[in-house]
Amino acid sequence: MARAPELRAIALLLGAPATPVIRTDKPGLFSVTSARGGPKRYTVDLGRDPPSCTCPRYQWVARVDEDPRPTCKHIEAVRLAIRAREGLGVPLS
């Protein structure tokens, strides 16, 4: 069964502009649009263990939650976008 961050990630990808997830020039770093639209973007770092995000929700979960591997919809959106692109044989731009 999907977890809440994964479901929110799917909603983010489906309702986002044409490029909700953008790979940066640094390995493991991605820029993700805010689910609320507008110019706001968050940085997801998949190169860390555990991965991190600059969004307020992740910052709160990482600080307060007892989960040793905190996540958020932005991290899950990047993971989903990578898996989808790999399945299509198209690199994430």
Q: Note the pLDDT tens digit of each residue in 9-45.
A: 666 666 555 456 677 778 889 888 877 766 788 999 9
Q: What's the total number of domains in the chain? A: 1
- pTM, two decimals, is 0.71
In a domain, 56, yes or no: yes
Q: Does 15 fall in a domain?
A: yes
Residue 25 maps to a domain: yes
- The Cα-based distances of 64 to 3, 30, 59, 60, 88 in angstroms read 18, 24, 9, 6, 38
What pLDDT sits at residue 51? 93
* 33 domain-assigned: yes
Sheet holding 21-23, edge to edge: 21-23, 29-33, 41-45, 52-53
pLDDT score recorded for residue 49: 87
Domain hosting 83: range is 4-88
Q: Does residue 13 form part of some domain?
A: yes
Q: Does a structural domain hold residue 93?
A: no
Residue 59 lies in a domain: yes
Q: Is residue 36 situated within a structural domain?
A: yes
